[in-house]
Structure 1
Amino acid sequence: MSAASTNRSNVPKSTRLLSNIIVIIGILSLFGVIGYLLPDLNAPIGPQGIPSHVSTDPRNLPYYALRSVLRMFIALAFSLIFSFIYGLAAARSKRARTILVPLLDILQSVPILGFLSATISIWLVLFPGSIMGVEAASIFAIFTSQAWNMAFSFYSSLMNEPTELDEAARSLRLTRWERFWKLDVPSSVIPLLWNCMMSVGGGWFFLTASEMISVNNRTFALPGIGSYVGEAAAEQDLGKIGWAILTMIVVVILIDFLLWKPLTAWAEKFRVTQSESTEPKRSAVLTIIRLSGINDILAAIGKPIASFLDAITRPLGITGTQTQVRNEQQRHRFTDYAYAIVLAGLGIWGLIKLYQLVIPSLGFAEVGHVFVLGFLTFLRVALLMIVCSIVWVPIGASIGMNPRLSRILQPIVQICASFPANFIFPFVTLWFLSWHIDINWGSILLMALGTQWYILFNVIAGASAIPDDLREMSRSLRQPTWQKWKTLILPAVFSSWCTGGITAAGGAWNASIVSEVVAYGQHTLTAQGLGSYIAEATSTGDTAQIIAGVTVMSIFVVAVNRFFWYPLQNLAKRRFSLT
């Protein structure tokens, strides 16, 4: 009998019955809301075409919030699937890794406006005569703000799997499918979950840009809380923006209570430790779910499905031993050389096409100017990373190491990270104007509001995953605080800080699009930088400028990752791994 079953047997029947009723009501409500919203997602386009504005009547905010939340979690589901496939391919194949990891660098550096300008026409063609085309473009834009850091997190977890568990999986000759669900996913759950939270926060940050899509001198507006804020800001109505902020706070608190708290409490069982946590995390929602017995129902339904999937995935192969893997790599050495030649050829072809698209239209002088703008944004990103690391690494490690502190501060952190910082941009813009703050410096603060959480969340995840055995040993040795930080905490969270840093830096470059140009009514503040350059080029539909800006941004991100972040990640794997 499982622990959950044992606990249920000790609970009065009336309590279990109440739990069943609550869970049934919750499931029916969820399906009811989805059924209510789905027809609107595929509504036909009216005679006036795709709307360019939405109503700013505050009574529409509950409906707008539901539409935004649905888009957010559809995008999150696709991001999770993408992370599993992409991260697994990059971690398991050395040849694929040589392409997929640099490609991920490039993808995370491409701003969502770059994706939108390149794909909006495709989505409209795929769904002619339906608002679903714009909905798909919006969901895809949110996906591009969520997927990359989740993929990095899953890939990093796979590359740092405990050696003894890896050997156990090989000795037991698990199939690739069995290994994925019995080792790969469990060992990555805690950091991946925290990055899912951060991805939702990143999605909220770009909500206005993804719901009020302005490309090629056209605007497509979808009902949502992000487009509502955009319209209210254009109307200079701070009262309506305040109602949107209040609605957003309620949404974030509900998501934290109904989803993130239960998941973080459930994920504790995947910590690698020899002893149970002395102060386990708790969640009222998770307790109700366990008491309802739905776990047993899902297990009964899932068992035959799992057996069927195990059977059909056996042809994918068995997890090989280390010797077999090395022999396989040696046999493919010649193929690797051919692979490199093909890649070099594709790279040269790409450079030629890039030259043909950009240089005749802009000239070398304009391209040089774009690189200068890129360097200005790089300086902002570098300063942001330094300050955020100094501030948030100690705070994140303290939260992750202290269960009591975690219970108090974790919900607050989740709410702050999930709240779309650009909702307060109109107030910040007024502050900048009143205090005569230069937007060239102020944009750093705006970028920090949306990207600092990547570092904090990853450090919290790394600290919370430190085995209790090591914590007990540190207490037994009575280490001074400074020595404990030097020998245990900082080495333990170093790898997580690297993952958070690389995603935060990529997010900061992306956030520069909405942080270097801020507007409130007739007031527009523009900083010198690559973000403002790309934003302006996207709004005017200048394809050559968009390509030049996105390319330069990608070059900066890939170069920094290659020469700074990846050496640090390798150092973390060599010297600071807990396995």
Structure 2
Amino acid sequence: MMDLIIALIYSMGRMFLAYIVSVITALVLGVSMARNRYLEAVLLPILDILQSVPILGFLPVALLYIARLLPGMLGVEVAVVFLLTTGMVWNIIFGVYSSVKSLDPSIDDLVKTYRLGLATRFFTIYSQAGIKSIGANSLISWAGGWFFITSAEVMVGGEGKGVIGIGSEIIKSFTMGDYARFVIGLLILVISIVATYIFIWNPMVSESTGIRLVDVGILYDEVFKPLARITWDGLAEACIWFESKLVTLVRSLAIPGRIVRGSAYGILAVLVALAMVNISRAVISYGGYLIRVSTTDVLVLISNTTITLARVATVVLISVVITVILAYASYLAIVYGEKSLGHQVIVLLGEILASIPAILWWPILSYIAFKGSMGQYIVAFIVFLQGTIWYSYFNILIFGLSSIGKELTELSRVYRIKGSLFLRTLFIPAMLPSVASGALSAWGGCWNSSIVAEYMALGTSIINLGGIGSLLDIYAAENDYTHLTLALIMFSIVIAIINIVFWRGVVFKKVSRRFTVA
């Protein structure tokens, strides 16, 4: 029992560290993209692809570079935190980017008038604009991190590194046949995660969005929030002080501004060049191996990618439909019950289910998986849905419902618009931006889920349902980085094409046209 508690502390520490890294990364990248159109043009499509890449896609970086370059267990822990960050950071980045991008243009005039420095602008204007977005998106990021905590610990630990964590301990218990310990570990995990929702994340979301959730705010109000504020203010003061001293030094040396800017750009160019050299070396290194890949290998990748694409499209559609129905039920509970208890209960149930890591659904539902020819496909669908629905769930039930104002409700009452007519003409159109954002996030989450939905090793039993996720698992297990790289290239190309043609070219274009005032 005590060893499970210790393992939980390790995992919880990794999760909070990955969350902090995600927030800092999101602020830097989100603000940079929003304020620099060149960075926006380069980074936005790259991040669109990266948010859909499964955690296995980042495994070579975690194992070949981080875990090996850093000494001992430090490299191992950093590798696990890095993998967790890839499951948490994306929606926070896009949230910060959208918030800063939507700032009033007069802010730019203020910055120029008062000649505010970079650090001053970042900490006093841009980061403040992104705070609410960070709070609102933390719920989804926290769920995304726990969804892959077990996978991250097991994959890095599979290299003989001895990673201690609640996820790896639970899987170990099931594999060894200690089902009592498996159940106890699962209960400890779920209870502790739900506690973080109730004591930290729900109060944060309620403060950011104004939507009431099931929460106990004392820990957030008295500990978490003041600690975060003190830390952030201290960092801001240090950076602004350093910037002021640097500016004073430059002025005292009478160095022209163009030389300072040129030096800064020169340093940036050197860093970019070094990164490009390393990337080129990797490409050349892999290029020799990729030439050896046969046409058959490419055809196998194409066919398996098509299989997963069909599954992902189906699951995303089902998850959005289910979420819209639940959102409508929540809306009715709020309007006709004159209180949000029904909505709070629905969100809390979602948080409980979202607390179960993806990989644990296979041992939990192992009886169904090995019962009949369709059992494995049923469990795979549940795993896919578990990794997909929460992105649309939280986006629509929290952000979508907040977009339905009292005026819309009063309008429907005055004109007696009810039932399917209200759903089609008022409810869904009002939530369309949140539905589109939730569907896009669910799309990325579903592709991520393919690595645990399409392939699973339970003791001596191997479940292989085909698909690109299954291939990624097999290549990673065999340390076949040549085929793993080729699969990731194929995967990225497919994701990029669909994101550009369908999501950006069709879905969001229609949403923006509908909500643009001529």
Residue of structure 2 in register with 1:147 after alignment: 89
Aligned position for 2:317: 386
1:14: which partner in 2? none
Aligned to 1:19: none
- Classify 1:310/1:464 alpha carbon distance in 2 versus 1 (closer, same or farther; 3 Å): farther
Deviates more, 1:550-559 or 1:479-488: 479-488
Counterpart in 2 of 1:6?
Answer: none
Q: Is the 8 A contact 1:111 1:550 kept in 2?
A: no
Tell me how far apart the structure 2 counterparts of residues 352 and 224 of structure 1 sit (CA, whole Å).
Answer: 34
Separation of aligned partners in 1, 2:224 and 2:375: 56
Question: Per-residue displacement from partner, 1:505-562 (whole Å, max 9, x unpaired)?
Answer: 1221121111111232222211111111111111111111110111111112111111
2:374 is paired with a residue whose SS is coil
Q: Which amino acid aligns with 2:433?
A: S
**Post-superposition offset of 1:103:** 0.8
Report the counterpart of residue 99 of structure 1 in structure 2. Answer: 42
Corresponding position of 1:576: 515
CA contact (8 A) 1:149 1:195 kept: yes
Partner deviation per Cα, 1:155-212 (whole Å, 9 max, x = no partner): 34444x3xxx614534655857677667755665555434322222222121222112
Asked if the contact 1:400–1:460 (Cα under 8 Å) also holds between the matched residues in 2, the reply is: no
1:223 aligns with 2:160: no
**RMSD, aligned CA:** 3.8
Q: Does 1:435 align with 2:340?
A: no
Match of 2:29 in 1: 86
**Residues 381, 444 of structure 1: 8 Å contact kept:** no
Amino acid at match of 1:429: S
Aligned-residue offset at 1:350? 10
1:285 and 2:223 are equivalent in the alignment: no
* CA separation of 1:106 and 1:296: change in aligned 2, threshold 3 A: closer
Distance 1:296 1:233 in 2: 41
Provide the rounded CA distance (Å) in 1 between the counterparts of 2:227 and 2:311.
Answer: 52
Structure 2 residue aligned with 1:498, among 436, 441, 458? 436
- Which residue identity is paired with 2:162? A
Q: Match for 1:60: what amino acid?
A: D
Q: For residues 232 and 25 of structure 2, what CA distance do their matches in structure 1 show?
A: 22
Q: Deviations over 1:299-335 (max 9, x none)?
A: 8998798677668779999xxxxxxxxxxxxxxxxxx
Matched, 1:373 2:304: yes
Relative contact order, CA 8 A, sep 6+: which one is greater?
A: 1
2:184 to 243, 247, 272: 243
Classify the secondary structure of the residue corresponding to 1:435. Answer: coil
Taking the aligned partners of 1:304 and 1:285, their CA distance within structure 2 comes to 24
**C-alpha displacement at 1:255, in angstroms?**
0.5
Q: What is the match of residue 173 of structure 2?
A: 232
1:554 pairs with one of 487, 492, 495? 492
CA contact (8 A) 2:312 2:447 kept: yes
Is the Cα contact below 8 Å between 2:209 and 2:399 reproduced in 1?
A: no
State the distance in 1 between where 2:203 and 2:379 align.
37
Q: Conserved in 1, the CA contact under 8 Å of 2:384 and 2:450?
A: yes
Distance 1:106 1:282, change over 3 A: closer
More displaced 10-residue stretch of structure 1: 61-70 or 355-364: 355-364
8 Å CA contact 2:56–2:476 kept in 1: the answer is: yes
- Indicate the residue corresponding to 1:272 in structure 2: none
Contact preservation (8 Å) 2:150, 2:357 = no
Please give the alpha-carbon distance, in whole angstroms, between the structure 2 residues aligned to 1:90 and 1:570: 20
User: Which residue of 379, 403, 418 corresponds with 2:355?
Assistant: 418
Any idea what SS the aligned residue of 1:131 has? helix
Pick the aligned partner of 2:15 from 49, 68, 72.
Answer: 72
Percent identity of equivalent pairs? 24
* 3-state SS of 1:560 partner: helix
Deviation (angstroms), 1:296 = 9.1
- Structure 1 residues 300 and 206 mapped into 2: Cα distance closer, same or farther (>3 Å)? closer
Q: Distance in 1 between matches of 2:414 and 2:91?
A: 37
1:330-349 Cα deviation digits (max 9, x unpaired): xxxxxxxxx9xx9xxx9x98
Deviations 1:238-291 (CA, angstroms, capped at 9, x unpaired)? 22211111101220221022201221232246xxxxxxx8xx6685424x776x
Say whether residues 1:533 and 2:471 are aligned partners: yes
Q: Which amino acid aligns with 2:40?
A: R
Choose 493-502 or 168-177, whichever is displaced more. Answer: 168-177
Could you tell me whether the CA contact under 8 Å between 1:113 and 1:538 is conserved in 2? Answer: yes
**What one-letter code is carried by the residue in structure 2 that aligns with 1:524?**
I
* SS at structure 2 position matched to 1:434: coil
Aligned counterpart, 1:255: 196
* CA–CA distance in structure 2, aligned partners of residues 183 and 207 of structure 1: 34
TM-score by length of 2: 0.81
> Which runs of no fewer than 5 residues in structure 1 stay unpaired?
1-57, 270-276, 318-338
The answer on whether the counterparts of 1:104 and 1:148 sit within 8 Å (CA) in structure 2 is yes
Cα contact 2:308–2:450 (8 A) shared by 1: yes
Once the two structures are TM-superposed, the CA of residue 563 in structure 1 deviates from its matched residue by 1.1
One-letter amino acid of the counterpart of residue 345, structure 2: I
Select the residue among 129, 136, 155 that pairs with 1:213.
Answer: 155
Cα shift at 1:294: 10
**What code does the residue aligned with 1:142 have?**
L
Structure 2: 5+ residue runs without aligned partners? Answer: 248-268, 335-339
Aligned to 1:264: 205
Alignment check: 8 A CA contact 1:75 1:140 kept: yes
Query: CA 1:577–1:223 in 2, change beyond 3 Å: closer, same or farther?
Result: farther
- Find the counterpart in structure 2 of residue 489 from structure 1: 427
**Distance in 2, Cα, partners of 1:316 & 1:571:** 48
Paired position in structure 1 for 2:77: 135
1:382 maps to amino acid: A
| Distance (whole Å) between structure 1 residues aligned to residue 134 and residue 398 of structure 2 | 9
Corresponding residue to 1:117 among 57, 60, 64: 60
Partner deviation per Cα, 1:38-61 (whole Å, 9 max, x = no partner): xxxxxxxxxxxxxxxxxxxx3311
2:230 and 2:85 map into 1 onto residues whose CA distance is 33
C-alpha spacing 1:407/1:523, structure 2 compared with 1 (3 Å): same
Displacement of 1:366 in angstroms is 0.7
Whether the 8 Å contact between 1:108 and 1:148 is mirrored in structure 2 is yes
Instruction: Find the aligned partners of 2:91 and 2:133 in 1 and give their Cα distance.
Output: 11
Q: 1:443 and 1:474, CA in 2 relative to 1: closer, same or farther beyond 3 A?
A: same
- Asked whether the equivalents of residues 88 and 145 of structure 2 are also in contact (C-alpha less than 8 Å), the reply is yes
Task: Go from structure 1 to structure 2 and tell me whether the alpha carbon gap of 1:572 and 1:93 turns closer, same or farther (over 3 Å shift).
Answer: farther
- What is the aligned residue count? 479
Map of 1:336 onto structure 2: none
Which range moves more in the overlay, 427-436 or 243-252? Answer: 427-436
Write the distance in 1 (CA, Å) between the matches of 2:323 and 2:453. Answer: 21
1:400-428 superposed Cα distances (whole Å, 9 cap, x missing partner): 78333333322222222233242231132
Please give the secondary structure, in 2, of the residue aligned with 1:109.
Answer: coil
Mapped to 2, the partners of 1:300 and 1:515 lie a distance apart of 42
Seen in structure 2, the aligned counterparts of structure 1 residues 564 and 479 have a Cα distance that, compared at 3 Å, is: farther
Post-superposition offset of 1:359: 3.6
Per-residue CA deviations over 1:476-497 (Å, capped at 9, x if unaligned) read 6445134544444323322222
Q: 2:371 corresponds to which letter in structure 1?
A: S
- Counterparts of 1:520 and 1:308 in 2: how far apart (Å)? 51
